[in-house]
Amino acid sequence: MNKDKRTAIYSTLRERMPSPTTELEYANPFELLIAVILSAQATDISVNKATAKLYPVANTPEAILELGVAGLTPYIRTIGLFNSKARNIIKTCGILIEKHGSEVPRSREELEALPGVGRKTANVILNTAFGEPTIAVDTHIFRVSNRTGIARGKTPLEVEKRLVRLTPDEFKKDAHHWLILHGRYVCKARKPLCGECPIVEWCEYKTKELP
């Protein structure tokens, strides 16, 4: 795919979603961090339901640490892998208090050192909380990037690196949100809504190449 096609795709998505953002509900970087940790292999809807009950009770590292694993677990029991996520969140809260003054760090290295935080989660925090031009590649973005041809790759990291390299600077800050929302609601895994797709004229999708 050439630069003109990419520019046309991103320009069209920008026209439809001028101010895209995550569907996770949060009020500050810490709440976003916890929500993103919880969102691994879970839907944003399920996470929002859990945090809607948790955050009025505990929405700081100190308050969640005080809950402990046993106190946190009932709030997140409906989310997949809740036991390991509860342990990681408690450990993360302790590190934030001890090493970062209870603030969410703004560097990738420090974020990825937190339990339960990998490259994708770090990218989401850097982009959504701090406005960095990072692109987190989840299953939706991986599919859309390969299917459309905007940035093909065999692994999420390969796709991420190509997206960062090939996405024009003016679109980098919002590319993550445009692509994930497009994948979630239009370019679906099993039945993509090609007839309703606003970027179909530039898409290089072919059924036999469906990721």
Residues with a known catalytic role:
120, 138
Contacts of 23 (CB under 8 A, 6+ apart): 44, 48, 181
CA 89/CA 150 separation, integer angstroms: 35
CA 172/CA 127 separation, integer angstroms: 10
Asked whether 104 and 129 are in contact (CB, 8 A), the reply is yes
Straight-line distance from the first to the last Cα atom of the chain, in angstroms, rounded to the nearest whole number: 17
Q: Rounded to 10 degrees, what is the CA torsion of 82, 85, 87, 89?
A: -130
CA 116/CA 156 separation, integer angstroms: 18
CA 181/CA 105 separation, integer angstroms: 26
- What is the residue-wise DSSP string for 128-176? IIT--------HHHHHHHHHHSSS--SSHHHHHHHHHHHS-HHHHHHHH
